[in-house]
Chains A and B, each alone.
Chain A
């Protein structure tokens, strides 16, 4: 019901630049994830959208209307944070009814809304419980029901699953998405967890150093990263550094030792220094098909995939392969590392060096 726009937002805390020209448009009814490492400015972005923080410069628009200076309570945006922020002296029902009550809805209507919300988060049987009688997951579901019961058109979620156990996070992220989708509201969800973002979002905005580095569907961000950072942050990547030796339907890159690899077409001129990025899930380890030799260091059974570490060309690279291949590799085995050229992306070698570009924190 609401389009949310952030236009060139800037925010500084002393010397730290938390938002450095952040722009993002979230469509009506869209589920947007803001994904990035600690310190990227994710929470700053969300708090500016909520009205809890004034930007130094830039605008926040709701449905085209400038709300940059509008107080939070008039924005019709509800916030769900990572710590369970329930009123400890109110029972579950009282917490959920809080929004409707201060908005002075008819008591009967408020009761109905609260009941519906609690039913949707499967807590209607616990409506008389006090927050301290509930588990962490139940508290967070109550907080979600409370946020949605207020009739807000925008839901802002600040790492809502961070404090929960890993398995519970998987259960709850599905519930959140289906609830938000069922109600048709616009959601902006901040997370450091790329898997969570991939599963829950319609589109993902990757944030880094106070700027939006890339916005796209989970598939676009995963398959067509615009920077080496995004390539490595959203799913791990292996990198191969060298110079472009030929360009055309494929880019051929050669390293100092004369090893050549092939990748997608790219605009980088012959002779320029580049880094070729390949997702670990697209990296192959075969007997004689590929680009260079390596030796298997270890093989880990991780469930749906196996993780194989290989020392090759003086560096470690990894491959994630289907679990049925577990018995095919042992430490010490010689393998050929390769990939489909269509899955390898060529980036200009970052000026500050690749290590610095990939830094996660």
Chain B
């Protein structure tokens, strides 16, 4: 897909499996919305094809693709009651009034909104309106559902409840879903697989667990979950471990990664829950201690100004600001990336 000389998305190869919950995740402007518009038929790609169940639909108009959509901006008909909004699709497909009502009631029951049948959209909260939008998409009988930032307009706490509800619903019904979002927590909670996008291309595609534990790409490591990034240089290796020397001279042992050579410039990435305190390690000073409910988050700075954060259980006494700590890293859960030519901050830039 191209606008003038600018590609909105480029070289996208993606297979979405039957019954899969696939999420397209990326920052604003990464091309995720262009991609979903191409899948649903709102836009035609400049090059490339889209097929559903093996049938090429690239030139099939949106109304004949049999896909359901839910958009960020709740798009219910304001002058129609909930029932009529939801039975609208079946009625347009030639169903009778009774059939339309039956289908609408069934899909409203699925989203726990049956008792709101006779209300107008404006009488509902944002979360309720979005549930009705989902019921409407279900009522059309589509086996493929496209969700374009369906929760972005809602309060954080409502979003949290609704994302589990959506996942539960579509999994029970066995529908295939493509969900677009910029929210990595949301993507992690609902998806079978996540496609990480940036600058119009796919960075990598994998399950939430693989993307969190073993991201192939530095951008993914930073974008999904939280991580500590430290610049270093390979200072040694044997057949099982790599030795990474951080900027202050501390050597860190990392499992695997045998393709690196001594003196390679690298970035070490370790998630906060895999950083521990020890007698000897990376000397750091505590800058801030934050209570996060299930644990304390400790923010530290090393002698060479690397910011490293770690978690400690809530029932343990946290260190005080200004305390000196020595930090070590879980050897197996540390990742090493080639130091990017454009610089680390450019490689992880969000906008």
Contacts and interface: CB of A to CB of B under 8 A. Distances in A.
B225 A360 contact: no
Given A168-B27, A198-B290, A360-B161, A307 B156 contact: no
A222 B291 contact: yes
Given A136-B28, A166-B182, A323-B212, A193 B156 contact: yes
A360 B271 contact: no
A323 B273 contact: yes
Nearest to B182: A165
B127 A361 contact: yes
Contacts of A297: 168
B6 interface: no
Contacts of A347: none
A262 interface: no
A236 B156 CA distance: 12
A302 interface: yes
Interface string B306-343: 00000100000000000000000000000000000000
Chain A interface size, as a band, is 35 or more
- Tell me the interface secondary structure of chain A in the complex: mixed
Interface string A190-204: 001111101100000
B185 A302 contact: yes
Contacts of B291: 198, 217-219, 222
A192 B157 contact: yes
Given A38-B155, A195-B156, A361 B212 contact: no
A284 interface: no
A212 B142 CA distance: 45
B156 A168 contact: no
B351 A192 contact: no
B189 interface: yes
A10 B292 CA distance: 33
B223 interface: yes
B209 A304 contact: no
A185 to B, nearest CB: 18
A281 B293 contact: yes
A233 interface: yes
B189 A307 contact: yes
Interface in B212-232: 212, 223-226
Contact of B209 (A192, A234, A301): A301
Contact of B157 (A37, A218, A298): A37
A206 B223 CA distance: 30
B177 to A, nearest CB: 15
Interface string B1-38: 00000000000000000000000000110000000000
Given A165-B27, A165-B350, A235 B293 contact: yes
A165 B197 CA distance: 14
A356 interface: no
A361 B125 contact: yes
B184 interface: yes
A360 B207 contact: no
Nearest to B224: A303
B270 to A, nearest CB: 13
Given A233-B157, A301-B188, A322-B273, A360 B182 contact: no
A302 B224 CA distance: 10
Given A136-B351, A235-B293, A279-B293, 15 more contacts: A165-B27, A165-B183, A167-B27, A168-B27, A168-B351, A218-B290, A236-B160, A282-B294, A297-B168, A301-B209, A301-B212, A302-B185, A302-B188, A304-B226, A322-B273
Interface of A: 37-38, 135-138, 165-168, 170-171, 192-196, 198-199, 217-219, 222, 233-236, 279, 281-282, 297-298, 300-305, 307, 309, 318, 320, 322-323, 326, 360-361
